[in-house]
């Protein structure tokens, strides 16, 4: 655990008592602060009460008397679409509002680091798509190379729940826009921006607010190195803002699909090959085509980001390439779960929006596509150009009929449930086909989260294959 510093002897309020909120309460207690806790849900309050934390309704008058700060869990809106009442009350009382990410960066360094030969480093990864795989891949490469490393944030453990880092250790953080938006301290050594596509727009008041939340990881902390995907205008803008000139190698530009030139440092993937260029010279090349844990152009972008981040730490191209080959991928993200009778079964339940589904649809050949759930604005209309590999679609959930209307001439049927969709797709699949779950929708109509949806797909496939 990382003890929170700077609040010893003070009361600190915690709003939201899920994983990050309870971890913050524990870390504050270890740092000799007095946490007072609140959650709008009875279940969260019960968890805190079971651990002996004091409960205080933060919306009541006088709740912030003597309180030094309010720490907010990432799922709670603090501005759009409207502020939570407890947060608005903190503003009115003049109480500083922060989150666990801010506490982490403000508390990580200690005097013990003076005795280290190599101080610990922090790599923070954000972006719309691919940040979980990129974070996990960076962590995997480091462990493969024998470097001590921990994975935390939006993946793995809560940031305050990790072990105090040892000599030379690297902490890899996946950070969502919800986490970067509110943190008062953001000081990673290396920041990574994968890409930007519309998501969480209601939470950030539009695409500009969403990008601004991501940009804070770079603008607020001034990292030593910035790895930035430049396949969208926002990434090119960010890379330009972070750079002092064409040859400034503190910025490493990455791309999937386009060759990057110039005198600076760049890493890009084209036609299945990753290339590193520096000062207009090619430094390394890796064939990504046969790496099973990184299929498709979207995963090649993830590979470029992870490669750039670990190269910035001094790892060799050969070491990184060897780690790529034994990376198994993450559950629910283009995860190959079975192969039988010439048919591959891939679980990409994490494809909860149209853009991420498009990446999966372009990664495989003849696809029998299971899609649907609780559709987002626009449904799958934007996928028209990505349907070329779809042999047939099997639609499930709340938005099945809406999706059907948007599929045009693409063969499809409404299967309603996962059980029926898997049964239908398997019955019709032929050797060379891929049965792909890439829902392009949220899961909340039928499942508590995308993980449960992916687990159900996997169980149905395995049950029918007898494995």
Whether residue 92 is found in the same domain as residue 139:
no
* CATH number, position 43: 3.40.50.720
Reply yes or no on whether the pLDDT at 197 is more than 80: yes
Whether residue 270 is found in the same domain as residue 317:
yes
What's the pLDDT score for residue 220?
A: 87
Please indicate, yes or no, if residue 3 is contained in any of the structural domains. no
Please indicate, yes or no, if residue 137 is contained in any of the structural domains. yes
pLDDT for 88-110, tens place per residue? 999 999 999 999 999 999 999 98
Read off the pLDDT band of 453 (50, 70, 90).
very high
pLDDT for 293-320, tens place per residue? 898 898 999 999 999 999 999 999 999 9
Please indicate, yes or no, if residue 240 is contained in any of the structural domains. yes
Whether residue 340 is found in the same domain as residue 321:
no
Q: Where are the beta strands (DSSP E) in 397-440?
A: 412-416, 434-437
pLDDT for 23-67, tens place per residue? 999 999 999 999 999 999 999 999 999 999 999 999 999 999 999
* Cβ neighbour number for residue 101 with a 10 Å cutoff: 30
What's the pLDDT score for residue 377?
A: 86
CA 259 to chain centre: 25
Reply yes or no on whether the pLDDT at 221 is more than 90: no
Reply yes or no on whether the pLDDT at 200 is more than 90: no
What's the pLDDT score for residue 324?
A: 97
- Residue found under tokens 């971890």: 23
Reply yes or no on whether the pLDDT at 203 is more than 80: yes
What's the pLDDT score for residue 413?
A: 98
Burial class (CB in 10 A: 0-12, 13-18, 19+), 434: buried
Read off the pLDDT band of 408 (50, 70, 90).
very high
Whether residue 318 is found in the same domain as residue 455:
no
pLDDT for 223-241, tens place per residue? 999 999 999 999 999 999 9
Task: Choose one of 98, 122, 143: the last residue of a domain.
Answer: 98
Please indicate, yes or no, if residue 421 is contained in any of the structural domains. yes
pLDDT for 320-330, tens place per residue? 999 999 998 88
* CATH number, position 126: 3.40.1190.10
Whether residue 344 is found in the same domain as residue 214:
no
Read off the pLDDT band of 452 (50, 70, 90).
very high
Read off the pLDDT band of 440 (50, 70, 90).
very high
Reply yes or no on whether the pLDDT at 156 is more than 80: no
Whether residue 266 is found in the same domain as residue 156:
yes
Task: Choose one of 73, 98, 123: the last residue of a domain.
Answer: 98
Whether residue 34 is found in the same domain as residue 67:
yes
* CATH number, position 433: 3.90.190.20
Please indicate, yes or no, if residue 409 is contained in any of the structural domains. yes
Compute the mean pLDDT over every residue in the chain, rounded to the nearest whole number. Answer: 95
Q: Give the CA-trace dihedral at 416, 418, 424, 426, to 10 degrees.
A: 170
Read off the pLDDT band of 111 (50, 70, 90).
confident
All residues at 6 or more sequence positions from 233 whose CB lies less than 8 Å from its CB, including other chains: none
Whether residue 304 is found in the same domain as residue 452:
no
Task: Choose one of 274, 306, 325: the last residue of a domain.
Answer: 325
What's the pLDDT score for residue 201?
A: 87
Please indicate, yes or no, if residue 5 is contained in any of the structural domains. no
Please indicate, yes or no, if residue 330 is contained in any of the structural domains. no
Strand pairing report for 190-193 and 121-126: parallel
Check whether 279 is labelled as a binding-site residue.
no
Whether residue 241 is found in the same domain as residue 381:
no
Q: Give the CA-trace dihedral at 452, 458, 459, 461, to 10 degrees.
A: 150
Reply yes or no on whether the pLDDT at 222 is more than 90: no
Whether residue 111 is found in the same domain as residue 90:
no
Whether residue 312 is found in the same domain as residue 342:
no
- Tell me how many domains the chain contains: 3
What's the pLDDT score for residue 269?
A: 97
Among residues 411, 381, 410, 412, the alpha carbon closest in space to that of 395 is found at 412
Check whether 127 is labelled as a binding-site residue.
yes
Sheet holding 434-437, edge to edge: 335-340, 343-347, 434-437, 367-372, 390-396, 412-416
Check whether 389 is labelled as a binding-site residue.
no
Check whether 235 is labelled as a binding-site residue.
no
Check whether 299 is labelled as a binding-site residue.
no
Whether residue 358 is found in the same domain as residue 454:
yes
Check whether 319 is labelled as a binding-site residue.
no
Structural domain harbouring 86:
11-98
Check whether 59 is labelled as a binding-site residue.
no
pLDDT for 351-382, tens place per residue? 998 988 998 999 899 999 999 999 988 999 99
Please indicate, yes or no, if residue 2 is contained in any of the structural domains. no
Reply yes or no on whether the pLDDT at 467 is more than 80: no
């Amino acid at each position: 655990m990382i003890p929170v510093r700077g609040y010893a002897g003070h009361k600190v309020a915690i709003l939201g008592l899920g994983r990050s909120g309870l971890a913050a309460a524990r870390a504050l207690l270890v740092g000799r602060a007095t946490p007072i806790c609140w959650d709008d849900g009875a279940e969260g309050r019960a968890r805190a009460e079971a651990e002996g934390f004091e409960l205080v309704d933060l919306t009541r008058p006088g709740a912030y008397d003597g309180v030094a700060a309010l720490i907010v869990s990432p799922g709670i809106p603090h501005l759009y679409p409207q502020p939570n009442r407890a947060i608005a009350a903190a503003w009115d009382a003049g109480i500083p509002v922060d989150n666990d990410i801010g506490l982490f960066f403000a508390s990580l360094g200690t005097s013990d680091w003076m005795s280290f030969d190599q101080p610990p480093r922090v790599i923070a990864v954000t972006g719309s798509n691919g940040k979980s795989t990129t974070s996990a891949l960076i962590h995997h490469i480091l462990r493969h190379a024998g470097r001590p490393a921990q994975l935390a944030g939006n993946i793995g453990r809560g940031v305050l729940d990790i072990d105090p880092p040892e000599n030379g250790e690297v902490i890899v953080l996946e950070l969502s826009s919800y986490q970067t938006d509110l943190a008062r301290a953001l000081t990673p050594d290396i920041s990574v921006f994968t890409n930007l596509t519309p998501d969480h727009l209601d939470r950030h008041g539009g695409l500009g607010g969403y990008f601004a939340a991501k940009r804070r990881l770079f603008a607020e902390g001034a990292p030593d190195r910035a790895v930035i995907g430049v396949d969208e205008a926002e990434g090119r803008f960010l890379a330009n803002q972070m750079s002092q000139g064409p040859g400034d190698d503190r910025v490493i530009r990455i791309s999937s699909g386009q060759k990057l030139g110039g005198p600076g440092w760049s890493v890009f993937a084209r036609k299945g090959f990753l290339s590193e260029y520096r000062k207009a010279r090619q430094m390394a090349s890796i064939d990504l085509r046969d790496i099973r844990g990184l299929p498709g152009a979207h995963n090649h972008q993830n590979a470029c980001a992870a490669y750039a981040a670990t190269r910035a730490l001094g790892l060799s191209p050969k070491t990184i390439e060897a780690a790529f080959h034994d990376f198994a991928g993450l559950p629910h993200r283009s995860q190959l779960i079975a192969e039988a009778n010439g048919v591959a079964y891939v679980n990409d339940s994490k494809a909860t929006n149209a853009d991420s589904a498009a990446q999966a649809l372009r990664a495989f050949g003849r696809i029998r596509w299971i899609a649907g759930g609780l559709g987002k604005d626009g449904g799958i209309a934007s996928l028209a150009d990505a349907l070329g590999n779809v042999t047939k679609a099997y639609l499930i959930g709340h938005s099945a009929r809406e999706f059907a209307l948007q599929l045009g001439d693409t063969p499809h049927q409404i299967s309603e449930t996962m059980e029926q969709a898997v049964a239908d797709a398997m019955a019709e699949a032929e050797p060379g086909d891929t049965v792909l779950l890439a829902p392009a929708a949220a899961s909340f109509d039928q499942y508590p989260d995308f993980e449960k949806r992916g687990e159900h797909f996997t169980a149905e496939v395995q049950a029918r294959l007898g494995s």
